[in-house]
Amino acid sequence: MFAKPRPKKSLLPPPSKKRKAVSAVEEVNFDFDARQDYLTGFHKRKLQRVKWAQEQAAKKAREDRIEMRKQVRQERQKEVEEHVKAVTALLEEAQAADSDNDQEFQGEDFEEWDGIKDQAQDKAQTDVLDYEDEYIDEDRYTTVKVEAISVTRDGFEKLHNDGGEANDNEDEAKAKRYAEEKAAAEKDKTRKERPKKKPKFRYESKVERQLNDRRGKAKKKARFKD
């Protein structure tokens, strides 16, 4: 019914029906070393993969630890800030309460408290103690003096000072006399115990030996004559 359309002509040249010339392979070489490495390198390559996986796992674990420490540090810093705020608020409240109390008690007079008076203590102070004891040991001589004192705010005070200087002088004289006696006894002891010196050994000279020999010979002759 309808006529077929005319086919369009292509602008390209028609393909050639001849085969392209393929360059022939001149030589094929087989690499035995590469083949040997491939066949014997399975275990080596497996160890390399395991090592690489371990390094990646360690790297990831380190990054996780760093992140965790960062979070913990931030949380602690936040807790410290909250604690500081709470303590500051408490201090402000305490200072406000103290200032109110100071204003209430300001201007009032208070009597100074001297403490509780003890009658037994007053009675004990009236009993005056004053005596001396002497203690003599092999190497020491000691005199103990007991006196009654009273306790005041200024310190310790003696109840009486009668004859104090005389007793002190007497004690010093006794101590000095005892020290002199002890020194003399030790000196005598060292003199008695001192060992006698041995005569120093000395070699005789040639002249002395000749004289001694002559004397010995003369004594022998005198004995024979007798």
- Which pTM does this prediction carry? 0.30
Percent above pLDDT 70 for the chain? 61
Which of 56-60, 165-169, 181-185 has the weakest average pLDDT?
165-169
Q: Tokens 């002249």 sit at which residue?
A: 207
**Helix runs in 8-148, H state only:** 32-40, 42-105, 119-126
Extents of the domains making up the chain? 34-94, 128-159
Quote the CA–CA distance of 207 and 90 in Å, as a whole number: 114
Band the pLDDT of 121: cuts 50, 70, 90: low
Band the pLDDT of 74: cuts 50, 70, 90: very high
Q: How far from 61 is each of 48, 49, 64, CA to CA, in Å?
A: 20, 18, 5
Rg over CA atoms, the chain: 62
Quote the CA–CA distance of 158 and 128 in Å, as a whole number: 10
**Sign of the CA dihedral running 50, 55, 58, 59:** negative
